[in-house]
Amino acid sequence: MTVQEPDRASYDATVNYHNTLVQMRFSVAAIFMTAAAFLVSAQLGDTKWKGYPILLPLLGAFITVATWIIELRTRALLANLVENGCKLEATMGVTAGTGFFGLLNGPQAIGVKVPFWEREVPNSHPWVRRIFSHGFWLHSLYLSFLLFWINAAWVAV
């Protein structure tokens, strides 16, 4: 099957947008962790500031929720791009599961090596794929900081 130019252009644009979103996703997470570390150190530090002690926890909670919403939207965009990319690969005649998006859309041949144990955990089971996913741990990160800020706000009142 011959690859049509519009399909190829759409496919290339989809791959490029996907890669850009992945880079943005982890850049946002890194900037969030830097901001959170700064706010946590300000919250826990010994300061002579006599302002409202609840402001830092409220700011931290707001930044956490805002960043988490950005993550949720980015995940939705990525899911749509993967679905669209799989459709484009199908119309281009790419064998199912072998294209860029086909590989992203299901179990992969090589699992995760557990640190220190150095044994591979196959990712054929959905729970293994979930626990060893970026999304699961980014959600855990945002949830733990949100709980921290809620506790800090509770203590400040």
Q: Tens digit of pLDDT per residue, the chain (157 long)?
A: 455 566 888 999 999 999 999 999 999 999 999 999 999 999 988 877 777 889 999 999 999 999 999 999 999 999 999 999 999 998 888 888 788 998 888 778 888 888 898 888 888 888 888 888 999 999 999 999 999 999 999 998 8
Look at the chain and report how many structural domains it folds into.
1
What residues make up the domain containing 46?
5-156
As a whole number of angstroms, the distance between CA 113 and CA 110 comes to: 9
Helix axes of 5-44 and 55-91: crossing angle, nearest 10 degrees: 160
Write the CB contacts of 15 (distance below 8 Å, at least 6 apart in sequence). 85, 100
As a whole number of angstroms, the distance between CA 68 and CA 58 comes to: 15
Contact yes or no for 29/128 (Cβ under 8 A): no
Q: Parallel, antiparallel, or unpaired for β 120-121 and 112-113?
A: antiparallel
Contacts 24+ apart (CB under 8 A), 38-46: 39/63, 40/148, 43/152
Model's pTM, two decimal places?
0.85
CA atoms within 13 A on the CB side of 28: 22
